[in-house]
Amino acid sequence: MRVCFTIILFLVCANCLCGDFEIRDGDTVVFLGDSITAAQTYGKIIENYTLLRFPERKVRFINAGWGGDTAAGGLKRLERDVLSRGATLVTVAYGVNDIGWGMKADDEHKRIYLDGIRGIVEQCKKRGARVFICSAAITGADPFKSETGFLQKMCDEGMALSRSLGGGAIDVQRTMREIQKKVWKANDQTTDPKTKTSLHAEDTVHLNEYGQIAMAYAILKGLGAPADVSAVDIDARRPDAALTTGCAVSRLRGDTSGIEFTRLDKGLPLNLGLAGILSYRFVPIPDQLNRYMLTVRNLDEGQYEIGVDGRVIGKYSSRDLAAGVNIASATTNAWEPGGTWDAQAAVLRSLTDARSDVTSARKTAFASLTQPARFGRVKTGTDSLNARIETVQRATARPQLCHFVIKKN
């Protein structure tokens, strides 16, 4: 276990330049991969995280996933689908199709995979695009045994090759495997199939929504995504000032019986709705990506409710508040957003889904419409729609001034 953790830590840290998030202002990020990428789910989570956490950065996102694809196939279409579209950062996720879902796990197919990885890294480097080779997503195989399996070892060679060529590497598979181990241990505690959790569809290869969330988490950590969003620390006995990180507090007033203030953040936490909340049992997003903290010390003993812009988002004891609470996903109704930032994230998810649908329409038109003029009209229209949605996305993700009221319940 210690060796595994060391490998994960090395691979994550090796990809962080000066501790900063790798997705930078002005980037065009392209997700290259097979059907797991083409599902667009993990890519949309990374997109939403970036828009919310770094609203001042103007970043474009392109999904270049293709069902059934391999590293060799990705290399063949690299110019058309990635480089010609202005990619400055590329994540590459292949492996399962390269070995025929395990039916072609041999040296010949490993060589073809590695040749494809080499070509992708070399071409990206030549065009000035930063490239990160990801190990394949986990399959439904026993996570306590698959560490030494052919797929992991082949991907290890691919990541090592990328680093030797000056590219980056993200060990998605090992990070997801640690999550999968938690899932398997939890499933061992129940005999009811309905209460068992999985990261996969029935074929044990494609990811369900939980699996996609886990993959997004692995890639974000590999890109150096920070855990802390912002923090406010208030002493109720001296409510003339607050200690803040990543935000500003104003209009602070109150005493040991209650506090109110306004808060303006530099960035906002990622929120994934009910599916996200349920997945947090296994995927450590709250602690590792989403620390949106509130601390109020020296309140009178008792229970307090936190209201934000007129909506109660949670109830906490004075002891909890003194220790600090993470209110990123706080809500009194899991079916509805909690704080204003949560509502913004919910709207953003819908907008990102809409942009994803536009992208899918463009891809279908490219693959299916035989008349160039007809495809041309679809391309022009979808490009225009995409640009307009991107503008609304950025406006939606911009932090707003929030009014907090903490009063005894």
What are the pLDDT digits (tens) for 370-392?
777 777 888 889 999 999 999 99
Q: 240 pLDDT band (50/70/90 cuts)?
A: confident
Alpha carbon distances (Å) from 21 to 5, 29, 195, 266, 409: 21, 13, 37, 15, 40
Q: Report d(CA 11, CA 37) in Å as an integer.
A: 21
Q: 18 pLDDT band (50/70/90 cuts)?
A: very low
pLDDT (0 to 100) of residue 364? 86
pLDDT (0 to 100) of residue 19? 53
Q: Where are the alpha helices (DSSP H) in 23-106?
A: 35-38, 41-53, 71-76, 78-81
pLDDT (0 to 100) of residue 196? 92
Mean pLDDT computed over 338-366: 93
What letter would DSSP give residue 128?
A: T
Q: Report d(CA 187, CA 182) in Å as an integer.
A: 9
Q: Report d(CA 311, CA 395) in Å as an integer.
A: 22
Q: 223 pLDDT band (50/70/90 cuts)?
A: very high
Q: Report d(CA 356, CA 210) in Å as an integer.
A: 19
Mean pLDDT computed over 309-319: 97
3 burial type by CB count under 10 A (0-12 exposed, 13-18 middle, 19+ buried): exposed
What are the pLDDT digits (tens) for 160-182?
999 999 999 999 999 999 999 99
Mean pLDDT computed over 129-146: 96
Q: Is the pTM of this model over 0.75?
A: yes
What are the pLDDT digits (tens) for 87-105?
999 999 999 999 999 999 9
**Close Cβ partners of 230 (under 8 Å, ≥ 6 residues apart):** 244, 245, 246, 247, 265, 266, 267, 292, 293
Mean pLDDT computed over 108-123: 98
Q: Do 260 and 253 contact (CB within 8 A), yes or no?
A: yes
pLDDT (0 to 100) of residue 16? 39
Q: Report d(CA 292, CA 276) in Å as an integer.
A: 16
Range in 12-26, 66-80, 251-265, 378-392 the model is least confident about: 12-26
Q: Report d(CA 209, CA 404) in Å as an integer.
A: 33
Q: Do 143 and 180 contact (CB within 8 A), yes or no?
A: yes
107 burial type by CB count under 10 A (0-12 exposed, 13-18 middle, 19+ buried): exposed
Q: Report d(CA 116, CA 74) in Å as an integer.
A: 7
What are the pLDDT digits (tens) for 23-40?
999 999 999 999 999 999
Chain mean pLDDT for the chain: 93
Looking at residue 282, its amino acid is F
Domains of the chain (ranges; CATH) run 2-222 (3.40.50.1110), 227-409 (no CATH)
What are the pLDDT digits (tens) for 266-280?
999 999 998 889 999
Decide the pairing of beta strands 89-93 and 130-134: parallel
